[in-house]
């Protein structure tokens, strides 16, 4: 195993160090590193708003923040021999806070209850000894379970075209969506700047999934859409509740350590076009004091026709459940009715995030210790 490093200058915004990353999804973005399956990568990552928010920031800074720069990602990483139809497995080794400052903001027009909370707001956190505390919310401390809010691979040209079309159609229906926009884009050259997908919602290639269970010990599997896979990550969170209700977690810069493994032909052989992951710990409880391992499938709110249904939690839950039924029948040999019954008695459906419009994401968690 070879260990690779991608160093960034955390004092600089991405636009001043563009050779380290990007803030749009596009297959033409050049890789910053090449590695082999089984290698380990250690990368620095910037916070979601690219250092615009600091310890002395106020609500006015939140109101004036340029959302065109969200999210600065580090990468892409080119994985040798990866090609469309493969699955890329990313093992999360560690997510370490960079520095002691983090923040939570409420931006006008965003968040699940954006109609109830139209004013900007900020909580400035201090991270120390595994806890987050704040003078803005005195008397509480939040335990840290750091994870990467954004992880993903490059979309293929075909997927890029389909996503642009369905999100444009949603915009025509007055749905909440951020269409391709060159303002703030890195790289700032065409066709990336004019066509690149915004990093705010999750999609088939991963992206802003905001699933807090993707912390150290988790392995996340991405279908590969382009040669080399082109994996990137950013938007580290120190802690987050399921749902990320106000639109942000405890946002921080980080050092992200992970390992990559390539599974040749697995996506096409098993007709997998969504994100799967495993976690060593039970996401939200313990059974008889024993930590449980889970296999998880995800769902976003795009229907079987490829139509975008904005912020539709029911559709996202349906897709996560259907993906889990497919997994159980494929991997454990049960028929679909048996798999559906197992989903009812053993699988937990969790709302991972409600706020990354237009796609909410629901995750289905299958405990692995039920199988004899």
- The whole model's pTM is what? 0.91
Strand partners, 198: 24
pLDDT of residue 290: 60
pLDDT of 170 higher than 90: yes
Does some domain include residue 273? no
Does some domain include residue 343? no
CA distances from 78 to 31, 40, 154, 243 (A): 6, 13, 10, 31
CA neighbours within 13 Å on the CB side: how many for 233? 30
pLDDT of residue 140: 86
Peptide bond before residue 76 is cis, with ω within 30 degrees of 0? yes
Tell me what the mean pLDDT of segment 277-298 comes to: 70
Does some domain include residue 39? yes
pLDDT of 343 higher than 70: yes
* pLDDT bucket at 287, cuts 50 / 70 / 90: very low
Tell me what the mean pLDDT of segment 332-350 comes to: 89
pLDDT of residue 281: 59
Residue for token pair 């997927």? 159
* pLDDT bucket at 57, cuts 50 / 70 / 90: very high
* pLDDT bucket at 280, cuts 50 / 70 / 90: confident
pLDDT of residue 229: 98
Average pLDDT across the chain, whole number: 94
Q: In angstroms, rounded to a whole number, what is the distance separating the alpha carbons of residues 120 and 226? A: 39
Does some domain include residue 40? yes
Q: In angstroms, rounded to a whole number, what is the distance separating the alpha carbons of residues 244 and 211? A: 9
C-beta of residue 223 within 8 angstroms of C-beta of residue 207: no
Does some domain include residue 340? no
Does some domain include residue 276? no
* pLDDT bucket at 344, cuts 50 / 70 / 90: confident
In the chain, DSSP finds a helix count (H) and a strand count (E) of 6, 23
Q: In angstroms, rounded to a whole number, what is the distance separating the alpha carbons of residues 372 and 370? A: 6
Q: In angstroms, rounded to a whole number, what is the distance separating the alpha carbons of residues 210 and 357? A: 12
Q: In angstroms, rounded to a whole number, what is the distance separating the alpha carbons of residues 57 and 123? A: 10
pLDDT of 44 higher than 90: yes
- What CATH number corresponds to the domain at position 10? 2.60.120.580
* pLDDT bucket at 282, cuts 50 / 70 / 90: very low
Measured in degrees and rounded to the nearest 5, phi and psi for residue 71 equal -95, 135
Lowest mean pLDDT among 97-101, 314-318, 368-372: 368-372
Does some domain include residue 318? no
Q: In angstroms, rounded to a whole number, what is the distance separating the alpha carbons of residues 264 and 317? A: 29
C-beta of residue 202 within 8 angstroms of C-beta of residue 356: yes
Q: Which H or E run contains 61? A: helix 59-63
pLDDT of residue 372: 83
Tell me what the mean pLDDT of segment 65-90 comes to: 97
Tell me what the mean pLDDT of segment 301-309 comes to: 95
pLDDT of residue 289: 52
Any idea of the CA torsion for 212, 4, 129, 354, to the nearest 10 degrees?
-20
pLDDT of 285 higher than 50: no
Q: Could you give the number of structural domains in the chain?
A: 1
pLDDT of 284 higher than 90: no
Does some domain include residue 269? no
Residue for token pair 């004091």? 289
Lowest mean pLDDT among 60-69, 260-269, 283-292, 356-365: 283-292
Identify the domain containing residue 77 by its residue range: 3-264
In the chain, % of residues over pLDDT 90: 85
């Amino acid at each position: 195993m070879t260990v690779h490093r991608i160093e960034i200058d955390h004092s600089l915004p991405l636009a001043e160090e563009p050779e380290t990353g990007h803030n749009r999804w596009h297959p033409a973005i050049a890789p910053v590193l090449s590695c082999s399956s089984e290698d380990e990568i250690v990368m620095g990552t910037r916070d979601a708003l690219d250092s615009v928010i600091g310890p002395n920031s106020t609500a006015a800074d939140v109101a004036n923040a340029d959302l065109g720069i969200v999210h600065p990602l580090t990468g892409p990483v080119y994985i040798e021999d990866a090609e469309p139809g493969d699955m890329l497995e990313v093992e999360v080794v560690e997510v370490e806070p960079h520095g002691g400052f983090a923040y939570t903001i409420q931006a006008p027009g965003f968040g699940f209850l954006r109609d109830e909370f139209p004013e900007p707001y900020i909580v400035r956190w201090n991270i120390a000894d595994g806890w987050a505390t704040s003078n803005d919310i005195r008397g509480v401390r939040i335990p840290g379970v750091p994870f990467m809010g954004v992880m993903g691979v490059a979309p293929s040209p075909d997927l890029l075209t389909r996503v642009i079309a369905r999100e444009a159609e949603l915009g025509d229906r007055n749905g909440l969506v951020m269409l391709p926009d060159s303002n703030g884009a890195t790289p700032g050259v065409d066709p990336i700047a004019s066509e690149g997908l915004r990093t705010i919602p999750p999609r088939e290639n991963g992206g802003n999934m905001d699933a807090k269970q993707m912390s150290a010990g988790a392995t996340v599997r991405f279908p590969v859409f382009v040669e080399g896979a082109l994996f990137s990550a950013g938007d580290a969170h120190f802690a987050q509740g399921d749902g990320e209700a106000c639109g942000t977690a405890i946002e921080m810069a980080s050092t992200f350590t992970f390992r990559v493994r390539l599974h040749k032909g697995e996506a096409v052989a098993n007709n997998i076009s969504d994100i799967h992951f495993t976690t060593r710990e039970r996401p939200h409880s313990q059974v008889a004091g024993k930590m449980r391992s889970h296999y998880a499938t995800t769902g976003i709110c795009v229907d079987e026709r490829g139509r975008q249904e904005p912020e539709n939690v029911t559709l996202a839950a349906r897709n996560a459940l259907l993906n889990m039924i497919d997994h159980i029948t494929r991997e454990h040999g049960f028929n679909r009715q048996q798999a559906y019954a197992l989903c009812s008695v053993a699988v937990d459906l969790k709302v991972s995030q409600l706020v990354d419009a237009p796609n909410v994401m629901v995750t289905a968690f299958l405990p692995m210790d039920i199988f004899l």
